[in-house]
Amino acid sequence: MYYRIMLLMYLLVFTFSDPCTGVQCGLGSCRAEKHRPVCFCQEGYSVQNGRCVDIDECKQKPCHSTAKCTNVPGGFKCACSSGQVKCNDASCYLF
């Protein structure tokens, strides 16, 4: 009888426990998939070593060639050089 109770307790703990308990994804959330914890990140972040980290969008050169790209948490900003105006989020023009 003791072994049946122990087996039942074991099955309850390991069959129905949440695999995301204790998992810290950073700027994201953990979801169980096939009984394993999986991190899903907010926009602008990707999973690296089990945590959500900021993507450096500036590596993809999203700004106009005359603009300076600055990586910010979850995104990027384009800034025009002195003497230029910003026409949209990525382009700069002389005025």
| pTM of the model as a whole | 0.65
Q: Which position has the higher pLDDT, 46 or 87? A: 46
Q: Is 6 helix (H, G, I), strand (E, B) or coil?
A: helix
Residue 49 shares a structural domain with residue 65: no
Instruction: List the domain range (segments joined by +) for residue 50.
Output: 19-55
Quote the pLDDT of residue 66: 79
Cα(48)–Cα(81) distance, integer angstroms: 34
Residue 25 shares a structural domain with residue 39: yes
Cα(76)–Cα(64) distance, integer angstroms: 13
Q: Answer yes or no: is 23 within a domain.
A: yes
Q: Answer yes or no: is 6 within a domain.
A: no
| Residues 62-84 pLDDT 10s | 888 878 899 999 999 888 877 76
